[in-house]
Amino acid sequence: MISVEKNIIPTELFFKKEYNLKKLLNDKGNPQNNFKVINVVGTNGKGSTANYLYNNLNSKYKSVGLFFSPAFLFHNERIQVNNNYIDDKTLLELINNNTKLFLKYELTFFEIWTYIAIEYFNKMKVEIAVIEAGIGGVKDSTNLFENQLAVCLTSLGFDHVEVLGNSIESIIENKIKIVKNNNKIYTTSINKQYENIFKSFVNNKIIYCEPTNDLTYQKYNQGIAKKLLEDLNIKSFNFQKTLLGRRTILNKEPSFIIDGCHNLDGAIALVNSIDNIKDYTILFTSSKGRENNEMIEFLKNKCKEFYVTTFDHIKAWNFDLVQNKNKVFNWKQFLNDNIKKNILVCGSLYFIPLVYEWYGEQNDKFLFDY
């Protein structure tokens, strides 16, 4: 498979601000509507909810697709059919064969991946696909799927406010308005507090889903998936398989946990799911533009020791602007030196895969069959 560290998308398109995928799809006869979709939107838990649905829909449908982001270790992860990643050859062919189209329509990075997924799902004759939004819903390229079966709305909070707005009303509007026609909206019961706001934007039936008995924050994501699967007459399901980087336990004694909680709500849910968090050393990092991070203030008061670090990535924050006395400039050495402690590494989803790979190298193996 192709490592996420390898650049396979034309870089000149990365920072385009115009969105032209709709025009391209119209010109191609709207191939995104050849299969049913379940749209998944929300602030936290989108990937996990999408993954739970995807892993259980095959008991009813012969061909099931999944499109989600960001990729953890390999580009291929973003696009899957029937528990198989898109293969290297097909992925590269779809990119190379359509590069002229990407340039002609000046597609953004996420639009390119959405288009590749559509092409591949049609090639594989997918019946239904679970489609996770990138940012928001209405302003997202995943809003272009018209053959919608249902919408899943996960937890809500403040993230990507530069795009979605800095009020909970504007964030909800951007997410919930992805619903089409009379389709149902499945959301966690904790979102019932926003019911009046929901009703101000849509008239669709909203189903509030109770959490499962899982002991972690995944109980809310599982609850949404469980209710929708039941309504599709799928009565038996397995929620054992979870996404890497979502409260992933690499070692039990001493504990070593990695989690891509990249906003305050995610951090709160993570901390609440770890019983003895006061015994942990936390290493945290974030993305560019989040140097004055409210997560720092929250996390540093919850653990035994708290440190911030940085990493080699275009999305990494400007470490010079981070206000915290415990700065780690070499995170690998730091983890080596503290490996006998209970450790929680959290923050940017671009950093967590680096830690996962580093840990695997120390143990001469990948920790999971991924």
Nearest to 139 by CA among 158, 115, 163: 163
Give the residue-averaged pLDDT of 172-198.
93
Cα(234)–Cα(211) distance, integer angstroms: 18
Domain of 225, CATH number, reads 3.40.1190.10
pLDDT at position 10 over 80: no
- The answer on 84 and 186 residing in a single domain is yes
- The answer on 306 and 213 residing in a single domain is no
The pLDDT score that the predictor gives to residue 11 is 62
pLDDT tens readout for residues 106-123? 998 899 999 999 999 999
pLDDT at position 59 over 60: yes
- The answer on 272 and 216 residing in a single domain is no
User: Is residue 4 included in any domain, yes or no?
Assistant: no
Give the residue, 190 or 363, on which the prediction is more confident: 190
The region of weakest confidence among 111-120, 144-153, 159-168, 279-288 is: 159-168
Inter-axis angle of helices 218-231 and 46-57, to 10 degrees?
A: 40
Give the residue-averaged pLDDT of 196-211.
94
- The answer on 301 and 202 residing in a single domain is no
pLDDT at position 265 over 90: no
User: Is residue 2 included in any domain, yes or no?
Assistant: no
The pLDDT score that the predictor gives to residue 31 is 98
pLDDT at position 262 over 80: no
163 confidence band (pLDDT: 50, 70, 90): very low
The pLDDT score that the predictor gives to residue 4 is 85
The pLDDT score that the predictor gives to residue 43 is 85
pTM over 0.85: yes
Cα(50)–Cα(66) distance, integer angstroms: 8
pLDDT at position 150 over 80: yes
Give the residue, 271 or 315, on which the prediction is more confident: 271
The residue to which tokens 């010109």 are assigned: 27
User: Is residue 239 included in any domain, yes or no?
Assistant: no
Listed residues 171, 201, 231: the one ending a domain: 231
User: Is residue 357 included in any domain, yes or no?
Assistant: yes
User: Is residue 242 included in any domain, yes or no?
Assistant: no
- The answer on 227 and 142 residing in a single domain is yes
13 confidence band (pLDDT: 50, 70, 90): low
Virtual CA dihedral for 88, 89, 94, 97, nearest 10 degrees?
140
- The answer on 169 and 300 residing in a single domain is no
314 confidence band (pLDDT: 50, 70, 90): confident
Domain total in the chain:
2
User: Is residue 241 included in any domain, yes or no?
Assistant: no
165 confidence band (pLDDT: 50, 70, 90): very low
Query: Domain range for residue 349?
Result: 248-362
370 confidence band (pLDDT: 50, 70, 90): very low
Strand partners, 18: none
- Mean pLDDT over the full length of the chain: 90
The pLDDT score that the predictor gives to residue 360 is 87
Listed residues 231, 261, 281: the one ending a domain: 231
The region of weakest confidence among 32-36, 206-210, 214-218 is: 214-218
Cα(136)–Cα(162) distance, integer angstroms: 11
User: Is residue 6 included in any domain, yes or no?
Assistant: no
Give the best-scoring range by mean pLDDT among 3-12, 126-135, 158-167.
126-135
User: Is residue 367 included in any domain, yes or no?
Assistant: no
- The answer on 151 and 260 residing in a single domain is no
- The answer on 341 and 193 residing in a single domain is no
The pLDDT score that the predictor gives to residue 142 is 94
- The answer on 118 and 89 residing in a single domain is yes
Give the residue-averaged pLDDT of 86-111.
94
Give the residue-averaged pLDDT of 195-211.
94
Domain of 336, CATH number, reads 3.90.190.20
Contact 306, 299 (CB under 8 A): yes
Listed residues 231, 256, 276: the one ending a domain: 231
Element containing residue 128 per DSSP (H, E): strand 128-132
Handedness of CA 32, 35, 41, 44 (dihedral sign): negative
- The answer on 19 and 150 residing in a single domain is yes
The pLDDT score that the predictor gives to residue 244 is 82
Give the residue, 40 or 44, on which the prediction is more confident: 40
- The answer on 252 and 224 residing in a single domain is no
Whether omega for the bond prior to residue 254 falls within 30 degrees of 0, making it cis, is yes
- The answer on 301 and 209 residing in a single domain is no
